[in-house]
Amino acid sequence: MSTQYRKTPVVIEAMLLNGNAHEVMTWVQQIPRGASATYDLDDNGPIYITTVEGTMKAEPGDYIIRGVQGEFYLCKPDIFEKTYEQVG
């Protein structure tokens, strides 16, 4: 028999990639978890975030999320807006 569960509310940090690639890259590299980020000097283009799980390509409009253990992952805007609400 299955049991229903509710996800525990967790506050995360996120940035929207929207013409601010250098700012997002700087934010990612501040975290001492082995992540790095690169972009091709076009603030309006994609960035590449390398973590222990591999390299992720963030396109303009994507959200870059830092999880509770300092890990990074990407989220498309439609999913982000259905899943998260701003707390501050």
The model's pTM:
0.82
Judge whether 72 lies within some domain: yes
Judge whether 5 lies within some domain: no
Cβ proximity of 68 and 79 under 8 Å: no
Task: Sort strands 13-16 and 63-66 into parallel, antiparallel or unpaired.
Answer: antiparallel
- Could you give the number of structural domains in the chain? 1
Judge whether 6 lies within some domain: no
Judge whether 56 lies within some domain: yes
The string of pLDDT tens digits covering residues 22-53 is: 899 889 888 766 677 888 877 888 999 887 77
Cβ proximity of 75 and 63 under 8 Å: yes
Rounded CA-CA distance 6/73 in Å is 22
Domain that holds residue 31: 13-83
- Predicted pLDDT of residue 35: 73
Judge whether 2 lies within some domain: no
Judge whether 40 lies within some domain: yes
Judge whether 7 lies within some domain: no
